[in-house]
Amino acid sequence: MSASRPAVITVDDLSVVYEVDPPVAAVKNATFSLAPGEILGLAGESGCGKTTLAYAINRLHKPPARIASGSITFHGREGDDLDLLALDEHALRAFRWSELSMVFQGAMNALNPVTTIRAQLCDVLSTHVPHLSRKERIARAGDVLERVGVSRDRLRSYPHELSGGMRQRVMIAMAMLLEPQVMIMDEPTTALDVVVQRDILREIVRLRDELDFAVIFITHDLPLLLEISDRIAIMLRGEIIEIGSADRIYREPEHEYTRQLLSSFPSLSGSRGAFIRTGTDEENADEEKEQTR
Ligand SMILES: Nc1ncnc2c1ncn2[C@@H]1O[C@H](COP(=O)(O)OP(=O)(O)OP(=O)(O)O)[C@@H](O)[C@H]1O
Ligand SMILES: [Mg+2]
């Protein structure tokens, strides 16, 4: 996606501290922007601050976490700018899910075990789009479920009746339900086996192509990020140490740590593009020939 489109979110000089003893500076002066429809990958070792940054952008951080400095601005479709750090709880509730949604680390276990998938999807709709009739809500919930590759018959299911991959798709459906401009996905598929993971990622990229939402995609898995991201940000001990196009990061990493991270994945010594294919089989076969030349 073109990074030249005006940003949908701008994060400027954002620092997050856990006020414990001694305090932990978990995010230090993070500055970046996200273009509409862009997939920005965020990588870095465990504990470098990825989840803390994601929570802060969504204003989901709780004490002892505190935003110590910086700003987060959401640029609306109508050219209006929203200072996310200034929103009160009421405005924040209206903003979340509808403009910015999040799929959490381990989200597939976050579904309510005692109500059906339909009730959980319809609940979000009745809160945010109260004018919809019950019939319209159910239709919309079914549509979004099918979008992520789950049959609408599953609306009647309880979470325990679904596989892990399906539950994770339901969480992604929930995040997409109100067609937000930005989705933050924190390790959305790490708990799943590789084949299911690949299917879901392919789906996310396809939906992004179709619906043009932007994604901040968090994972340790750098090879995967190189596949799906337009740009990649590398974090180290709370700092974004480098950010650039996936191609640039792969071919000319600027930072020593990025080089180390790349070399820690033996699979990356081959060509980029083996994990996920979004083209047709024919295109992929051509690409394969290309790569073996
Ligand atoms: N509630 C908390 N209180 C104190 N320190 C915390 C708290 N939560 C996280 N931290 C610290 O903040 C830092 C960043 O943690 P964070 O969970 O954001 O890392 P991460 O990059 O998401 O890691 P992972 O890849 O393991 O998910 C770590 O040093 C962690 O120990
Ligand atoms: Mg994390």
- Distance, CA of 162 to CA of 165 (rounded, Å): 8
Average pLDDT over residues 42-62: 95
Residue 104 lies in a domain: no
Q: Is the CB of 270 under 6 A from ligand 1?
A: no
Ligand nearest to the CA of residue 66, numbered in listed order: 1
Look at residue 123 and tell me whether its pLDDT is greater than 60.
yes
Sequence-distant (6+) residues with CB within 8 A of 21 are none
Q: Which of 14, 21, 50 to mutate to test the pocket of ligand 1 (most atoms within 8 A of CB)?
A: 50
SS3 253: coil
Residue 93, domain extent: 9-99+180-292
Domain count, the chain: 2
- Distance, CA of 239 to CA of 50 (rounded, Å): 10
Same structural domain, 49 and 63: yes
Q: Is the CB of 234 under 6 A from ligand 1?
A: no
Look at residue 285 and tell me whether its pLDDT is greater than 70.
no
Q: Higher-confidence residue: 195 or 5?
A: 195
% residues pLDDT > 70 (the chain): 90
Q: In what order do the strands lie in the sheet with 81-83?
A: 24-34, 9-18, 65-75, 81-83
Look at residue 289 and tell me whether its pLDDT is greater than 80.
no
Q: What is the CATH number of the domain that holds 199?
A: 3.40.50.300
| ∠ CA 10-19-85, rounded to 5° | 25
Predicted confidence band at 269 (pLDDT cuts at 50, 70, 90)? low
Ligand nearest to the CA of residue 55, numbered in listed order: 1
Residue 157: burial class (beta carbons within 10 Å; 0-12, 13-18, 19+): middle
Q: For residue 11, which of 99, 88, 70 has the smallest C-alpha distance?
A: 70
Instruction: List, for residues 99-120, the tens digit of each pLDDT value.
Output: 999 998 777 778 999 999 999 9
Q: Is the CB of 158 under 6 A from ligand 1?
A: no
Residue 191 is predicted with a pLDDT of: 74
| ∠ CA 243-3-219, rounded to 5° | 45
Average pLDDT over residues 148-160: 95
Residue 5 is predicted with a pLDDT of: 72
Compute the distance from residue 26 Cα to the ligand 1 centre, in Å: 7
Same structural domain, 168 and 189: no
Mean pLDDT lowest among 44-53, 127-136, 153-162, 263-272: 263-272
Mean pLDDT lowest among 15-24, 52-61, 107-116, 223-232: 107-116
User: Do residues 14 and 53 make contact, with C-beta atoms less than 8 angstroms apart?
Assistant: yes
Compute the distance from residue 187 Cα to the ligand 1 centre, in Å: 14
Q: What is the DSSP letter of 155?
A: G
Residue 4 is predicted with a pLDDT of: 61
Domain limit, last residue, from 179, 207, 240: 179
List 15's β-bridge partners, or say none. 69
Residue 4 lies in a domain: no
Q: Is the CB of 219 under 6 A from ligand 1?
A: no
Q: Is the CB of 24 under 6 A from ligand 1?
A: yes
Q: Is the CB of 101 under 6 A from ligand 1?
A: no
Instruction: List, for residues 180-229, the tens digit of each pLDDT value.
Output: 999 999 988 877 788 888 888 888 999 999 999 999 999 888 888 999 99
Average pLDDT over residues 157-183: 93
Same structural domain, 139 and 194: no
Sequence-distant (6+) residues with CB within 8 A of 66 are 16, 17, 18, 19
Look at residue 91 and tell me whether its pLDDT is greater than 90.
yes
* Location of structure tokens 């479920």: 145
